[in-house]
Amino acid sequence: MVRMSAEERRESVIRAATAEFARGGYYGTSTEAIAKRVGVSQPYLFRLFPGKKAIFLAAAERCIEDTIRTFSEAAEGLEGEEALHAMADAYTRVIAEQPERLMMQMQTYLAVAAAEQEGDHEFGEAVRAGWMRLWDTVHLPLGADIGETTTFMAYGMLINCLVAMGFPPGHRVWEGVYESARTKGRPEH
Amino acid sequence: MVRMSAEERRESVIRAATAEFARGGYYGTSTEAIAKRVGVSQPYLFRLFPGKKAIFLAAAERCIEDTIRTFSEAAEGLEGEEALHAMADAYTRVIAEQPERLMMQMQTYLAVAAAEQEGDHEFGEAVRAGWMRLWDTVHLPLGADIGETTTFMAYGMLINCLVAMGFPPGHRVWEGVYESARTKGRPEH
DNA sequence: GTAGTTAGTGATTGAGTACTAACTTACTGT
DNA sequence: ACAGTAAGTTAGTACTCAATCACTAACTAC
């Protein structure tokens, strides 16, 4: 048994929760599964967080923060086409190394409707605010071009869906995605 | 009490299940909720379908079929830019009239990973096959242009996500989407 | 009208799950 | 050494939910 400070434990709970919620979504993930992954007893989670919802929320918010940081760091000091490529490359790395981050984001989006139905309007509010922050983060380096930004986000969502469906890398559905990353933003002739 | 043939009942179960699963996903939806919406007792669902999974699968497949038909009907006899606009218009109508169809599709994509973990590989196979059929359905009218097709699908997925998050129509995140629908495919300058 | 079939219900069960309460084990400062 | 505190566990509760079983009500063919 490895003892940790509560704050450190909370961190590893967030990581474990991200992986588990990414696969099963809010309802398809038991707190026991999270606890197992952390290597801690299930009831102890409720000492670290007030409830399951709070764990989901913490994981969701962390996820958005991470993605915002990924893009803002990638685009730092660049703009226009260069920024676009840098951010696209950064996202490609996330796809390969942390697909659970993409999946968790999708789960977060879909959890909004369910939360809304249960009377929780704050959750949707928080998710939309996070989206807007993400949007603005890519908007500026892309020269504040709404069309470019929207297309970039659209490709991101397409990638998320393809990853979710489990299309293996190299499958023909990815062709158009890579192609676009190569040609997009190039001066027309 | 209104009696129906088993086949008719199955149809209304699929419709009800689509609406319920769209909001809560597979795990977040109880068979009782579906039964209530149909107006039938919960155990009776298991006479019409072998289990909850079968209901989800039926709803998911219906959903994809409907979307494929939506696009193929919209693009019938058209090609290139005209087909693009016709399909975009058709999708706009779906957003307004049957948002649950979009949400159900997203839920289907995300259910793949969960099914995979439970050892069910056929589900993912079926979902990917459906996606490919949908892809091919829009690919041909768009002049078999991979880039155009990918962009079209990407915008579709972005729309699905924005709808899921509950961004109201008129919110600034939609600007870029509409703008693209107006200008995309137009000859430059 | 009655036998056979099809549509549908009520009661129940067994497994899983979020969360609580009471207790134990390890570290820290004095 | 030992008191206090922070980390963590075991046992248990109240509840939800998919699925089964035994039964009833309505339609149909003869």
pLDDT tens, residue by residue, B19-74 = 999 999 999 999 999 999 999 999 999 999 999 999 999 999 999 999 999 999 99
Confidence of residue B179 (pLDDT cuts 50, 70, 90): confident
Which among B114, B146, B179 has CB closest to A28? B114
Could you give the CA distance from residue A165 to residue A162 in angstroms, rounded to a whole number? 5
Residue A136 token pair: 């603005």
Contacts of B24 in chain A (CB under 8 A): 27, 114, 117
Inspect the interface and report whether the beta carbons of B117 and A24 lie closer than 8 Å.
yes
Give residue B181's pLDDT band: very low, low, confident or very high (50, 70, 90).
low
pLDDT of residue A184: 59
Q: How far is A161 from chain B (nearest CA, A)?
A: 7
- Tell me how crowded residue B128 is: count the other CB atoms within 10 A of its CB: 19
Q: What is the mean pLDDT of chain A?
A: 94
Return d(Cα A3, Cα B100) in angstroms, integer: 47
pLDDT tens-digit profile of A151-176?
999 999 999 999 999 999 999 999 99
Spell out the long-range contacts of A104-107 with Cβ–Cβ below 8 A and sequence spacing 24 or more: A104/A18, A104/A21, A104/A22, A104/A59, A104/A60, A104/A63, A105/A60, A105/A63, A105/A64, A105/A67, A105/A160, A106/A160, A106/A161, A106/A164, A106/B106, A106/B109, A106/B110, A106/B161, A107/A21, A107/A22, A107/A25, A107/A26, A107/A60, A107/B110
| pLDDT per position as a tens digit, B133-148 | 999 999 999 999 999 9
pTM for this prediction: 0.94
| pLDDT given at position B184 | 59
Cα torsion through B97, B102, B108, B114, rounded to 10 = -120
Amino acid symbol at B109: Y
pLDDT in tens, A84-141: 999 999 999 999 999 999 999 999 999 999 999 999 999 999 999 999 999 999 999 9
Does nucleic acid strand D have an atom less than 7 angstroms from the CB of A165? Answer: no
Q: Cα distance from A36 to chain B (closest Cα, Å)?
A: 16
Query: Nearest nt (C1') to A24 (CA)?
Result: C17
Distance B37 CA to C11 C1' (A): 22
Q: At A188, is the secondary structure helix, strand, or coil?
A: coil
